[in-house]
Amino acid sequence: MPIVAPTAVSTVAPTVVAKPTAVPPAATNTRIETLNAADAAFRGGDLKTAAGLYDRVVNTPPNQTEAAAATVAINDFARFRGLVTLLADGREDEARIDLQELQKRDPSSPLARLGTQLYDQYGMTGQLRGACAQVQQQVATQAGPTLATLQGLGVAVDAPTLCSVPQG
């Protein structure tokens, strides 16, 4: 039997570098601040944080000074972007729930129609980027007034980025 020399065993733990993530806003922030934080997380590719923040927006009651049109625009946008975020993260069942919630309020609203089109197109192709490209053709004409309302409230959104897929 040959004699085998013992090998050196490292006791130094490997260094783990965590991907930076967006810092969630405080629970006391306004719905607009939370929405903008969700958008920043989405653009940065932090899909789990973004999805949680979009969900927080729709589950936070509007304050007494928020106009009804603002509430509808904020909630519909958060649901739509939540849908896109969840699809980008491969969470199709949860995305379907966001779509159903978006349709429940008003299936003929601009973002509900775009959400339905996005989900159906995604279901046919399995490709979110391609589905967004199809929806993008309709954004300015269908959701223009909703986007204008959101921009007036301080939400950083525009037609070219409404249905986009983050790099990452």
Examine the pLDDT at 161 and tell me if it is beyond 70: yes
Let me know how long the chain is: 168
**Residue 151 pLDDT level (bands cut at 50, 70, 90):** very high
Instruction: Express each pLDDT in 104-124 by its tens digit.
Output: 989 999 999 999 999 999 999
Q: 94 pLDDT exceeds 90?
A: yes
SS (H, E, C) 19-83: CCCCCCCCCCCCHHHHHHHHHHHHHCCCHHHHHHHHHHHHHCCCCCCCCHHHHHHHHHHHHHHHH
What string of DSSP letters covers 110-160? HHHHHHHHHHHHHHHHS-HHHHHHHHHHHHHHHHHHHHHHHHHHT----HH
Q: Which of 13-22, 83-92, 130-139, 150-159 has the lowest mean pLDDT?
A: 13-22
Domain extent listing, the chain? 31-162
Query: How many CB atoms within 10 Å of residue 12?
Result: 5
* pLDDT, tens only, 24-83: 445 446 999 999 999 999 999 999 999 999 999 999 999 999 999 999 999 999 999 999
List pLDDT tens digits, range 2-27: 555 554 444 444 443 333 344 444 54
